[in-house]
Amino acid sequence: MSKEFDKQLLNTIIIQVVKETFKKLLRIEPVSEPVAMERDIIEFDGHMRVFPMEKFNGPVLIACVNFFRTQKDLDDDAAVGAFIMFIKEDLAEKLLKAFDRPLKDGDNEESLLDNTADFCSLLAGNLKKELVSSGYADLLISPPSKYKNTVPDGVPFDYELYHKQEIPFHFWNQKSVVIEACMGYVPQK
């Protein structure tokens, strides 16, 4: 039987990873300390529903990855965790330019989505490294999925979980990025 990963530890590591990654790569820090909130997982057809338009009052770019304990779990799409990043669209270009990802003319939206997915993968990879350095088993990470304004089919997750964590980050004096994450049982090494 699966059990939920320590929420406090997960929140602490996510906040640390996001803050350190933004500071190192983008040379920016949140204007206030991020505060994690627990939210109920709404499930439909075996996937976690996500509601991007509730995060920001306007268009939002979304990228997500899943964590898996084994290659078999990855092949079976049996996720142990989900990591979802929401970026307010009007700040995404500023954020991704700071990430040193130039946008191609005439392909602005697709470039923004691609770069959002790359940045989400980078954050998830850093989260994975922190989990391993904290004594947990090495997890596999799925390729990122990317969306604008809606995630029609939802996101795979550990079906035995009932809650997810939501952590908003404020850069440039406004809410700019929101991370949602949930994690089931991850064995220690």
129: enclosing H helix or E strand: helix 108-133
- Count the domains in the chain: 1
169 assigned to some structural domain = yes
pLDDT digits (tens, 9 = 90+) for 136-165: 999 999 999 999 999 999 999 999 999 999
78 assigned to some structural domain = yes
pLDDT digits (tens, 9 = 90+) for 165-183: 999 999 888 999 999 999 9
Q: Is 48 helix (H, G, I), strand (E, B) or coil?
A: strand
Smallest CA-to-CA distance from 169 within 37, 49, 2 is with: 37
Quickly tell me which residue has 């939920």 as its tokens.
Answer: 4
Domain of residue 76 covers: 7-183
CATH number at residue 133: 3.40.1550.10
151 assigned to some structural domain = yes
Average pLDDT over the chain reads 90
2 assigned to some structural domain = no
Among 84-88, 102-106, 179-183, whose mean pLDDT is lowest?
A: 102-106
Long-range pairs for 130-134 at CB < 8 Å and ≥24 separation?
Answer: 130/13, 130/16, 130/17, 131/13, 131/186, 132/189, 134/9, 134/13
188 assigned to some structural domain = no
Q: Which two tokens stand for residue 177?
A: 């990025």
Please report, rounded to a whole number, the percentage of residues in the chain having pLDDT higher than 90.
72
Average pLDDT on 32-57 reads 94
The whole-number pLDDT of residue 94 equals: 73
189 assigned to some structural domain = no
56 assigned to some structural domain = yes
Residue predicted with more confidence, 127 or 107? 127
Residue 22 to residue 187: CA distance in whole angstroms: 29
34 assigned to some structural domain = yes
User: Which of 51-55, 105-109, 133-137 is modeled with the greatest confidence?
Assistant: 133-137
